[in-house]
Amino acid sequence: MSKNYGPEYVRAIAPYQAGKPIAEVAREFGLDEEAIVKLASNENPFGVPPSAVQAMTAAAADLGRYPDANGFDLKGALSKRYDVPAEWITLGNGSNDILEIAAHAFVERGQSVVYSQYSFAVYALATQGVGARHIVVPAKDYGHDLPAMLAAIQEDTRLVFIANPNNPTGTFIPAADIQAFLDKVPAGVVVVLDEAYNEFLAEENQFESAEWVKKYPNLLVSRTFSKAYGLAGLRVGFGIAQPALTDLMNRIRQPFNVNSMAQAAAIAALNDKAFLKQSATNNAAGYQQFTEAFDKLGLQYVPSYGNFVLVKVGNDLAAGARVNLALLKQGVIVRPVGNYGLPEWLRISIGLPQENAVLIAALTKALAQ
């Protein structure tokens, strides 16, 4: 008998399932890498902004040195953009890092964390990673049921995760509902508002959550450069919160968690308004392209506010896996979401018009089989 290493709560973790890399699908299915369309990880179909490439090339000359552990320039740019003091910002190796740091900084083993059914998989991982108790609140219309989440908070709850828009369902919570929630949450409970897809929201849905941080000392807003800014491979995200939270997070954070290239690229991307606009415009058009096709195919989907759509591809529990396989054979990678308890559904990222067309043709064929 081999010995069981580590605590039981670590052994119980179900590892994160990432989207399949293009090279792996090419190998497995004997396909040409060039011909593969990947719409699986909510990446920016325009790739990395040229402005960021330029900044990285310049930063490369200095890679012999450690990065700025305090991220002075990037925090300065973010501080200006969001009108908060630089000391209120925590940089993360992707915003996943921010979510992890929050769990480590604010939750003790045995205490509880509240999040919604069908919300981002990392909430469960971060909770389990510190040996905390999960309180998973049933979703309402595939989105967060904030009144139920409020009611679910226990004496020992230290953290609540809210994704807005949510991944993998794409649902959106209006500003008034979140504020009503923040007004009632006990002061000792930290609320993480994860806004990874914020930049894709139409103007009428935008609100400045960074402003709320000034009013709510228990609010941590989390943002990322991975989606609309096109820097998923670099791993940069950040949190905004008052010093009472930020100070603790900075003790847990690894000193050099965001590398020099990433810091330089993030500043360039943050200032590249044209790239951001291009991404949002393409996304809105692609959403229309997808939903028109799904309507024609008679497929149910959850109205999405992100850069992806959750679509129901059959009524049996094997539907998602079956259609996913049929798509892979045609060189199209999407995300099965059985691990989220949604085995009849697929999550499909919005790509360039031509990529979307390939997906629609492949899906039509897969459903006819």
Ligand X SMILES: *Cc1c(COP(=O)(O)O)cnc(C)c1O
CA dist 26 and 228 (Å) reads 27
Using CB under 6 A as the binding rule, the residues of this chain from 231 to 290 that contact ligand X are 232, 237
How many residues make contact with ligand X (CB under 6 A)?
Answer: 14
Cβ distance to ligand X smaller for residue 167 or 250: 167
CA dist 240 and 222 (Å) reads 7
Radius of gyration of the chain (CA): 21
CA dist 275 and 154 (Å) reads 44
Applying CB under 6 A, the span of 60-68, 89-97, 247-255, 289-297 interacting with ligand X comes to 89-97
Site map (CB under 6 A) of ligand X, residues 3-42, x = contact: ---------------------------------------x
Least distance between ligand X and beta carbon 257 (Å): 12
Least distance between ligand X and beta carbon 83 (Å): 22
Cβ distance to ligand X smaller for residue 18 or 63: 18
Coil, strand or helix at 244:
helix
Applying CB under 6 A, the span of 91-99, 128-136, 286-294, 296-304 interacting with ligand X comes to 91-99
Using CB under 6 A as the binding rule, the residues of this chain from 119 to 148 that contact ligand X are 120
Which residues, other chains included, contact 200 with Cβ-Cβ below 8 Å and sequence gap of 6+?
165, 227, 228, 279, 280, 283, 305, 306, 307
Cβ distance to ligand X smaller for residue 230 or 286: 230
Q: H/E element holding 221?
A: strand 219-224
Q: Does 100 bind ligand X (CB under 6 A)?
A: no
**Other beta carbons within 10 Å of 116:** 27
Using CB under 6 A as the binding rule, the residues of this chain from 157 to 216 that contact ligand X are 163, 167, 194, 196
Cβ distance to ligand X smaller for residue 224 or 246: 224
Cβ distance to ligand X smaller for residue 262 or 360: 262
Least distance between ligand X and beta carbon 316 (Å): 27
Cβ distance to ligand X smaller for residue 67 or 237: 237
Least distance between ligand X and beta carbon 306 (Å): 8
Nearest alpha carbon to residue 342 among 300, 307, 292, 305: 300
Nearest alpha carbon to residue 63 among 235, 254, 260: 260
CA dist 114 and 124 (Å) reads 10
Q: Are strands 190-194 and 219-224 parallel, antiparallel or unpaired?
A: parallel
Q: Are 133 and 12 in contact (CB under 8 A)?
A: no
Binding residues (CB under 6 A) for ligand X: these are: 42, 94-96, 120, 163, 167, 194, 196, 224, 226-227, 232, 237
